[in-house]
Amino acid sequence: DAGVIQSPRHEVTEMGQEVTLRCKPISGHDYLFWYRQTMMRGLELLIYFNNNVPIDDSGMPEDRFSAKMPNASFSTLKIQPSEPRDSAVYFCASSLAKRNSPLHFGNGTRLTVT
Amino acid sequence: AQSVTQLDSQVPVFEEAPVELRCNYSSSVSVYLFWYVQYPNQGLQLLLKYLSGSTLVKGINGFEAEFNKSQTSFHLRKPSVHISDTAEYFCAVSDDGNAGKSTFGDGTTLTVKP
């Protein structure tokens, strides 16, 4: 099993540009989660999906952020337009639907907005 | 509402010494508790979890944690650390069985010195 795969590993962009982060969850997992990690706020849950359907997006900071999961093996997190305060490490994680199944995290995308 | 407090932001320790990383939580309902480890430039990975039953939980890499309901604590311990244990450690609490919706602590950086 290749684990959760995120791309790109690093992204540097200028303020105002569109940024798309990608995630491939572990095959067979039912849940997919997007997190943001910063020194100031720690690890924050942005949005999660169950069987490709968005369940809770209350953690999405602004309308500039959007996430999609068109099928069971792919999800995107888009920021448009990007701002310097969006600079962070973004993690994708997946898990089975079984109660208290552990999270499996990807290695993250380090986003720098200049 | 649930919350997690990791009492130490940094813990330096010498190799082969014992270590304890402290975690206190608050929750109004039954809790499920987790410890994760994050190595540099990687995502979080599960060390151990407490769901129910025995209050002493054993995890990977020789770590263990003890659930103490009266003190609302879930401290992580290892009797003898290695250089390779240098990492950031996160305590997390969930009250609904969905690990992905856990509230995470701010993390404790464990530095093992030779």
| Chain segment B40-85, per-residue pLDDT in tens | 989 999 999 998 888 899 999 999 999 999 999 999 999 999 999 9
* Cα–Cα dist B66/B75, whole Å: 6
What is chain B's Cα-based Rg?
13
Cβ–Cβ gap B107/A107 under 8 Å: no
CB B92 within 8 A of CB B110: no
Q: Which of helix, strand or coil describes residue B102?
A: coil
Query: Is-contact B83 B114, C-beta < 8 A?
Result: yes
Q: Does B100 sit within 8 Å of A95, measured CB to CB? A: yes
Is B40 in CB contact (< 8 Å) with chain A? no
Q: What is the mean pLDDT of residues A71-96?
A: 96
SS3 assignment for chain A: CCCCEEECCEEEECCCCCEEEEEECCCCCCEEEEEEEECCCEEEEEEEEECCEEEECCCCCCCCEEEEEEECCEEEEEECCCCHHHCEEEEEEEECCCCCCCCEECCCEEEEEC
In angstroms, the CA A23 to CA B49 distance is 25
Minimal CA separation from A110 to chain B, in Å: 9
Burial (CB count within 10 angstroms: exposed 0-12, middle 13-18, buried 19+), residue B79: exposed
Instruction: Decide if pLDDT at B102 tops 90.
Output: no
Omega of the bond leading into A81 within 30 degrees of 0 (cis): yes
User: How, if at all, do strands A53-56 and A109-113 pair?
Assistant: unpaired
Mean of the per-residue pLDDT values of chain B? 92
Q: How far is B91 from chain A (nearest CA, A)?
A: 11
All residues of chain A having their beta carbon less than 8 Å from the beta carbon of residue B43 are 4, 91, 93, 105-108
Residue of B nearest to A110 (CA): B41
The pLDDT value recorded for residue A64 is 96
Please compute, for residue A44, the number of CA atoms within 13 A of its CA located in the half-sphere on the CB side: 16
Phi and psi at B78, nearest 5°, equal -145, 130
Question: Mean pLDDT over residues A103-111, rounded?
Answer: 95
Q: What is the pLDDT of residue B92?
A: 92
Q: How confident is the model over A20-77, as pLDDT tens digits?
A: 999 999 999 999 999 999 989 899 999 999 999 999 999 998 899 999 999 999 999 9
Percent of chain B with pLDDT over 70: 99
CB A113 within 8 A of CB A64: no
Once rounded to an integer, what is the mean pLDDT over residues B2-27? 95
For residue A1, pLDDT beyond 70: no
**How crowded is residue B1: how many other Cβ atoms within 10 Å of its Cβ?**
7
